[in-house]
A and B are shown apart, each in its own frame.
Chain A
């Protein structure tokens, strides 16, 4: 399975600011996914990022709030913009090799104060 390096691992941010989370994969992958996980909850898909095209956002998530970049097949970023305390959560990137075999980054624990 792919190895994913995600950073930062955690951050405490002031409301109104933005944070960019990075994921670097050790091999080329077509699909990358960004998730949010509230404490004690399941994973909620934010968007799917494919190289060379705009990210596809799930209901309730918009590009202005969560812009995503996918400049190549091994890297992606998710920005959480104009943060509020409600954005405090764990953010995870995930990749899939072929059509199965999803693996996850180590997560970014975001606290907005």
Chain B
């Protein structure tokens, strides 16, 4: 269906290690895949996004990969720091859905000192 499946729901990693969050979708018309970070009590903030004509995008310690054939995309955070602790949401949109975002359920990332 339209939903975006996001895993895991909770991820606990040691400070300095890498974290990977994965999302899968079924609508092949999807062409835009953003990732949002939401700290407690704050609004969601866009941290990185990727469009369907690109397979990977990096911004310092954050990267997103997209596999259109398998219909999944992942967020990679390297050298994790305490300030990375937050809830991360993936989403997708397409022209067919009038560019409305379809959201994953979220992943609570905990960075252990």
Whether B95 is near chain A, meaning CB under 8 Å from some CB there, is yes
Select from chain B the residue with minimum beta-carbon distance to A43. B103
Cβ-defined contact, A100 with B44, below 8 A: no
| Closest chain A residue to B95, Cβ basis | A99
Contact B106 A42 (CB under 8 A): yes
Interface size on B, residues (CB 8 A): 20
Contact A104 to B44, CB < 8 A, known contacts A42-B89, A42-B104, A48-B100: yes
- Chain A CB within 8 A of B53 CB: no
* A92-112 interface bits toward B, Cβ cutoff 8 Å, 1 = contact, 0 = none: 100010011111111100000
Contact of B89 among A43, A48, A96, A103 (CB under 8 A): A43
Q: Are B43 and A107 in contact (CB under 8 A)?
A: yes
Give, as a whole number of angstroms, the nearest-CB distance from B51 to chain A: 8
For B44, the chain A residues whose CB sits under 8 A away are 43, 92, 104
Q: Which residue of chain B has the shortest Cβ distance to A96 in the bound complex?
A: B99
Is A45 on the interface with B (CB-CB < 8 A)? yes
Collect the chain B residues with CB atoms within 8 Å of residue A1's CB. 46
Q: Which residues of B contact A42 (CB under 8 A)?
A: 89, 103-106
How far, in Å, is B108 (CB) from chain A's closest CB?
Answer: 8
Contact B98 A48 (CB under 8 A): yes
Question: Within the assembled complex, what's the spacing in Å between the Cα atoms of A33 and B45?
Answer: 15
CB pair A102–B34 under 8 Å, yes or no, is yes
Contact A101 B46 (CB under 8 A): yes
How far is A100 from B45 in the complex, measured between Cα atoms in Å? 14
| Those of A15-56 within 8 Å (CB) of chain B | 31, 33, 41-43, 45, 48
Contacts of A100 in B (CB 8 A): 32, 34, 49, 51, 93, 99
Across-interface contacts of A105 in B (CB, < 8 A): 43
Q: Which residues from 34 to 86 on chain B have a C-beta closer than 8 Å to any C-beta of chain A?
A: 34, 42-46, 49, 51
6 A-B pairs within 8 Å (CB atoms) are namely A31-B99, A41-B105, A42-B89, A42-B106, A101-B46, A102-B101
Q: Spell out B's residues near A (CB within 8 Å).
A: 32, 34, 42-46, 49, 51, 89, 93, 95, 98-101, 103-106
